[in-house]
């Protein structure tokens, strides 16, 4: 098992290019099930989660090839095993995304209850509710979701709101299934995340008829078939936000290429409010901090609100603020396993229910810490860049799920970070 050894503090300067969005690529890869034939996806990052998704699609009967130019070719001519096996799906939350397209194409699907990061309970009841509304018969057996629609799916008006707002992957599943349903489907309280819009745009390229993209009301006119396509995945706004925090926490000056500012205005606004300069440029931005970090209050919300996937990284940044901050988690209330690890680095964090009180300290001190999930591991790396001494981050396979060779991409900017065997 690999670890990161990080020497700090450092000041990051230079340019870094943002990769394609993991959270867009994964459901788009699942959408290829709907269109028999060869499709090509561009800007799909080389990540552990992408490899797991490749393995999952291959187990269904698809053929996957990473081309020399980096594009991902998915041949879904044959999908003859509509089963999402536990040993694969347990390793990645997005594995649940094959449920809707398998049901629409094959009339049947057996998909294990998903795994992924340990960030709290993430039920699939809204996925099931939406697919049942389309006419599927669904039951649970031995940890698997068994869905059947031998006579096909029928369009319906569906409300997908839940206790913590809209469901991103639930919207993806129902949307994919609805493209091949008979008649019109209306999804109310659909997720508005850019990754869902990207998947919807890709589906339309494949011949789907989806209106209202980017809004909480999606209207889908079912079609008989979809065709293979060539499509480029949008830039990763969470990776971009992580790099922005890296520049801010190290008082650096970084140029981010391939960054869509309009997809992350809540993040940009918060950074500007705490003293970070962000100047938009063609296709990216420049991030710079020279003064003190100001405290802030942050509440995670569905898009276009502040993303839960950047909560941990911002908590590391606010640990060095000149004053007290409050971070409230509204999406995954248990997503605070990084709090104890940041406190090991001399942060002053106190959890109170769904909130964390962040009392800013003058400096962080290096320590040996344990990554508990993907975004928490990113937060610990950021903290290590700013901390005095040598920080050891264990279980970095978590970060490999969502950041491609992060140590190799930050090192040219001045980071002193190396990967070692434990």
pLDDT averaged per 10 residues, the chain (length 422): 96 98 97 98 96 97 94 97 95 92 97 64 81 96 94 96 85 98 98 98 98 98 98 98 98 97 97 97 95 97 96 98 97 90 98 96 97 93 98 94 96 98 86
Active site residue 117: yes
State which H helix or E strand residue 103 sits in. Answer: helix 99-106
Q: Say which residue the tokens 């950047």 belong to.
A: 310
Residues in the chain: 422
Give the integer Cα–Cα distance in Å for 236 and 374: 14
Domain ranges of the chain: 2-18+235-421, 22-232
Give the integer Cα–Cα distance in Å for 112 and 198: 26
What pLDDT sits at residue 121?
45
Same fold, 2-18+235-421 and 22-232: yes
What pLDDT sits at residue 45?
95
Task: Please give the order of strands across the beta sheet that includes 297-299.
Answer: 297-299, 324-328, 355-359, 348-352
Three-class HEC string of 44-107: CCCCHHHHHHHHHHHHHCCEEEECCCCCEEEECCCCCCCEECHHHHCCCHHHHHHHHHHHHHHC
Give the integer Cα–Cα distance in Å for 285 and 29: 29
Architecture of domain 2-18+235-421: Alpha-beta prism (3.65)
Question: Token pair of 9, please?
Answer: 């503090």
CATH 3.40.190.10 for the 22-232 domain, yes or no: no
What pLDDT sits at residue 115?
60
> Which residue in the list 117, 202, 259, 285 is annotated as catalytic?
117
CB 206 within 8 A of CB 227: yes
What pLDDT sits at residue 189?
96
Q: Say which residue the tokens 């930050």 belong to.
A: 410
First-to-last alpha carbon distance for the chain, in angstroms, is 6
Q: Where are the beta strands (DSSP E) in 266-338?
A: 277-281, 284-288, 297-299, 324-328
Question: Token pair of 306, please?
Answer: 């502040």
């Amino acid at each position: 098992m690999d670890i990161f050894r990080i020497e700090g503090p450092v000041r990051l300067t230079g340019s870094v290019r943002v990769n394609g969005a993991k959270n867009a690529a994964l459901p788009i890869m699942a959408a290829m099930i709907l269109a028999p034939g060869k499709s090509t996806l561009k800007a799909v990052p080389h990540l552990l989660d992408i490899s797991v998704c490749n393995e999952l699609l291959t187990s269904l009967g698809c053929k996957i090839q990473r081309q020399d130019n980096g594009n991902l070719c998915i041949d879904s001519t044959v999908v003859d095993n509509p089963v999402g096996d536990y040993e694969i799906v347990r390793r990645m939350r997005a594995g649940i995304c094959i449920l809707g397209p398998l049901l629409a194409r094959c009339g049947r699907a057996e998909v294990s209850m998903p795994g992924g990061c340990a960030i709290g309970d993430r039920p699939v009841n809204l996925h099931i509710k939406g697919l049942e509304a389309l006419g599927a018969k669904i039951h649970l057996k031995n940890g698997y979701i068994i869905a059947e629609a031998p006579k096909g799916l029928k369009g319906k008006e569906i409300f997908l709101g839940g206790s913590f707002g809209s469901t991103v992957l639930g919207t993806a599943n129902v949307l994919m299934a609805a493209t091949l349903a008979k008649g019109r489907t209306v999804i109310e309280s659909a997720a508005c995340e850019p990754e869902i819009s990207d998947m919807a745009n890709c589906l339309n390229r494949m011949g789907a008829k989806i209106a209202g993209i980017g809004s909480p009301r999606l209207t889908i006119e079912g079609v008989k078939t979809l065709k293979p396509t060539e499509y480029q995945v949008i830039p990763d706004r969470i990776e971009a936000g992580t790099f922005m925090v890296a520049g801010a926490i190290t008082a650096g000056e970084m140029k981010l290429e391939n960054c869509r500012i309009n997809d992350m205005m809540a993040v940009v606004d918060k950074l500007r409010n705490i003293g970070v300069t962000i100047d938009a440029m063609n296709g990216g931005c420049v991030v710079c901090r020279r003064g003190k970090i100001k405290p802030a209050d942050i509440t995670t919300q569905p898009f276009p609100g502040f993303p839960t996937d950047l909560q941990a990284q911002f908590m590391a940044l606010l640990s060095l603020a000149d004053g007290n901050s409050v971070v409230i988690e509204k999406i995954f209330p248990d997503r605070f396993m990084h709090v104890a690890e940041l406190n090991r680095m001399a942060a002053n964090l106190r959890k109170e229910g769904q909130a964390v009180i962040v009392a800013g300290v003058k400096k962080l001190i290096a320590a040996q810490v344990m990554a508990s999930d993907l975004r928490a591991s990113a937060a610990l790396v950021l903290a290590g860049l700013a901390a005095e001494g040598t920080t050891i981050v264990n279980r970095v396979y978590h970060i490999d799920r969502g950041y491609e060779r992060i140590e190799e991409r930050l090192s040219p900017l001045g980071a002193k970070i190396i990967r070692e065997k434990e």
